[in-house]
Amino acid sequence: MWTGPIRDRRCAAQLLHRVEHFRGRVWSIVSDEVRLPGGAVVTRDVVDHPGAVGVVVLDEDDRVLLIRQFRHPVGGYLMELPAGLRDVAGEPPLVTAQRELAEEAGFTATDWHVLIDFFNSPGGSTEAFRCFLARGVTAIPGGRPHTGEAEEADLPQVWMPLRDAVDAVLAGDLHNPTTVAGVLAASAARDRGWSTLRPADGPMWDLPLGTAPHAAE
């Protein structure tokens, strides 16, 4: 039985050898031979991902903003929170989130907090995700800038009561992980009088852009 603190803790494996199989526009796929903390030597395939951020945007009526976006890998349109990749080196997560909110939805916000941090698929990807709560929302004059292309060229949006969004998640009507985690976290935080919110610039279990989390040999 585990008797230590119930919280995640950093502990890098020792990287013995790496083979890069693919380097794409956003992420790479590598095979790492590593020595695990327990001593075993294994090979693990890893998607080396820059990380991402998302935003639960709440208006004064406790409605959450969702946008509709086509996602080719899963074959359909998903209702999602505004979100984006952390693909600008050195850009703080909060700045990325503010930029993505403007670019994808055409809004700015005055009140920002961290809702939750999570790893999207820790068994095979380095993607670290931070989800913010944004309130005090104002529409940008003229709407979102015309910077999107392909899937982001047309992003219809809707304001949905937070309670209804929770119901949609639990009913299996919403599938995007950012949306699922963010909506449930926002509901839980609201039920606690927002006492669980963290500073928008608070520390994050972060990974350097373009690197997998392994110690040097």
Which residues participate in catalysis according to the annotation? 152
Residue 95, H or E segment: helix 93-105
d(CA 81, CA 58): 11
CA R_g for the chain: 19
Q: How many C-beta atoms lie closer than 10 Å to residue 149's C-beta? A: 7
User: Which residues fall within 8 angstroms of residue 160, CB to CB, at 6 or more apart?
Assistant: 63, 64, 66, 168
d(CA 171, CA 168): 5
User: Which residues fall within 8 angstroms of residue 138, CB to CB, at 6 or more apart?
Assistant: 107, 108, 109, 110
Q: What angle do CA 171, 56, 103 make, to 5 degrees?
A: 120
The structure tokens listed for 206 are 């972060």
